[in-house]
A and B are shown apart, each in its own frame.
Chain A
Amino acid sequence: KNEVEQSPQNLTAQEGEFITINCSYSVGISALHWLQQHPGGGIVSLFMLSSGKKKHGRLIATINIQEKHSSLHITASHPRDSAVYICAVKYSGGGADGLTFGKGTHLIIQP
């Protein structure tokens, strides 16, 4: 079964620290998503990647297709960044099936 592995599962850091969350997957993909799930449960799409690197504000997402690995970085972290960050991939091979999700990384930024 194609799986998505995230690390770490839980991360607590101090405000201002540089944060890295990792995601690895097993076979070829057509796209990788980074999602943010707020405490209330709502999910927001942060990035969609198929190659290279994307940046939005203090968030940076990178993907290495050869190594089947992606990272999400948060610079100058802030308590409002506290959330669950989820990596999800759409595996190659066509079809209208959806995403395969990692279990998420629970991030807490302490003031």
Chain B
Amino acid sequence: SQTIHQWPATLVQPVGSPLSLECTVEGTSNPNLYWYRQAAGRGLQLLFYSVGIGQISSEVPQNLSASRPQDRQFILSSKKLLLSDSGFYLCAWIGHSYGYTFGSGTRLTVV
């Protein structure tokens, strides 16, 4: 079966510090992978998606970047966090039948 792992679950980071969130998928190959963010009181927003190794598309210009070093690994990064980066970050992948599976999410608080 296909599973998606995301870590860490919670993170408190000071302003200006770097960020690295990791997401890995099992049980599938060449998945489309997505990073979403949910800010307080707002809906989920697509940040990045990737259709393959090294292929990243950005939906929203911001302080974040994404990388896909391996087929089933998707990383969200920042060199210097801002207060506005606080939120709930979700990784997701889509199967060929348009079914979405979400990771458990990372709650990031920038202080």
Contacts and interface: CB of A to CB of B under 8 A. Distances in A.
A45 B43 contact: no
Interface residues of A, number: 23
Interface stretch (B11-19, B71-79, B99-107): B99-107
B98 A41 contact: no
A90 B98 contact: yes
A52 interface: no
A50 to B, nearest CB: 8
A101 B42 CA distance: 10
A88 B98 contact: no
A97 B100 contact: no
Nearest to A104: B43
Contacts of A42: 102, 104-105
The bracket for how many chain B residues form the interface is: 20 to 34
Interface string B87-109: 01010101000111110110100
Given A86-B43, A98-B34, A101-B44, A45 B101 contact: yes
Contacts of A35: 102
Nearest to A44: B102
Given A97-B49, A97-B59, A103-B43, A43 B105 contact: yes
Contact of A43 (B32, B34, B42, B102): B102
A104 B42 CA distance: 9
Sort A-B residue pairs by CB-CB distance and give the 3 closest, nearest first.
A101-B44, A103-B43, A43-B102
Interface of A: 4, 30-31, 33, 35, 41-45, 48, 86, 88, 90, 96-104
20 contacts: A4-B43, A30-B98, A41-B105, A42-B102, A42-B104, A42-B105, A43-B102, A48-B100, A86-B44, A90-B98, A96-B51, A97-B59, A98-B36, A98-B92, A99-B44, A99-B100, A100-B46, A101-B36, A103-B42, A104-B43
Interface of B: 32, 34, 36, 42-46, 49, 51, 57, 59, 88, 90, 92, 94, 98-102, 104-105, 107
